[in-house]
Amino acid sequence: MMFQYFPSRALRARVVLAILSALAMVGVFVAPVPASAAPPPTATLSVSASTDPVLLSALNGAPGASIPTVLTAVNVQFEATVSLSAAQNKDTIVALSPKSSVGRLSTTQVVIPANTTSVSVDERYDTATSALQIHAVATNSNKIASGNSAAFRVESSLSVVAGGSSALTAGADGAGCTTVGPANPICGIVDLPNGTTTSAVMTIGPCIAGTPHCQSGNMVTQFIAGMTGLYTRDNPARMTLVCDKSLCGKGGVPHYTAQWAQSATDALTAAPACPSKGVIGADQDFCTDYVSSTRDNAGDLLLVVLFAKDVRGTI
């Protein structure tokens, strides 16, 4: 005998609900539809830095290769230009900061007006470094990509010395190198018996970490001026690199080598020995005058380098 079961209307309703519930549960596990990609930025920020025009005018006539793109020092003014790759229809508020997060900029916010692409501001930085980069980010738009400046030096100190035909003697620290000590172990004193054709700028700042000459605490001194036609190999200018005994106290004078360059971008290279006192060799652009070099009564090293063009140097 065959038995056939006919569920009641209420039971059929429960079965239908159960099936619907199961279908609803299956829906929970369906893979989500991928979100659409974020829209591309409408513009990109960039930053460029340059020497303050007033400082640059003091060097008018000096060899261009000797002048860095950005010549500045701690709390010495330079210019920063913040740019957009495409103009926006509203003001763009831009926050500025050092990329390294070390030190502080004097101007930390600029506004690029609507329908324009750039703004320039006076800027200063309070920390010496061999590679400052300025980071720019829009604070009122998430559609503008951030940007950075190229790296540039911020010297520890910078001094401008009036030029002319009279003899010129100056120290890179602005104080005749009287600040030399363990905290500031190197300084350069220039002696130019025929003066210069422009004002002169002297700086001193940190060396570039990782380069062969960059000992712990070492510094680089720089001299920039117009000198064309004033000096020869037989009648050169000279720079005395004063090195504190805390860094240069071991070994005789010939044990030390000056590192030298005659442009703002050339790598520092060893300054060879001069053929005789006070003379640059015929095949040399600069040389170390070991005959004139000595130690002072405090034990500091005084290493003399002869040159006829603008220079950067260290030991």
pLDDT for residue 3? 38
Determine contact, residues 235/295, Cβ cutoff 8 Å.
Answer: no
15 vs 283, residue with greater confidence = 283
pLDDT for residue 28? 42
Amino acid at site 84: L
Phi/psi of residue 54, nearest 5 degrees: -65, -45
pLDDT for residue 313? 73
pLDDT for residue 36? 56
What is the chain's Cα-based Rg?
Answer: 33
CA 9-13-18 angle, to 5 degrees, is: 150
**pLDDT tens sequence across 183-195:** 889 999 999 999 9
Write down the residue that tokens 């070492």 correspond to.
Answer: 218
Determine contact, residues 202/303, Cβ cutoff 8 Å.
Answer: no
What single string gives the DSSP state of each residue in 219-248? EEEEEE---TTT--SSS-EEEEEEE-HHHH
Measure the CA dihedral 171/174/178/182, to 10°. Answer: -100
Distance CA 306, CA 2 (A): 121
**pLDDT tens sequence across 177-221:** 988 999 889 999 999 999 999 999 999 998 876 676 676 668 899
Share of the chain above pLDDT 90, in %: 64
Determine contact, residues 35/198, Cβ cutoff 8 Å.
Answer: no
- In angstroms, the Cα distances linking 252 to 249, 255, 298, 299, 302 are 9, 5, 14, 11, 11
Determine contact, residues 305/311, Cβ cutoff 8 Å.
Answer: yes
Assessment of whether the complete model's pTM goes beyond 0.85:
no
CA 187-190-194 angle, to 5 degrees, is: 175
Determine contact, residues 289/278, Cβ cutoff 8 Å.
Answer: yes
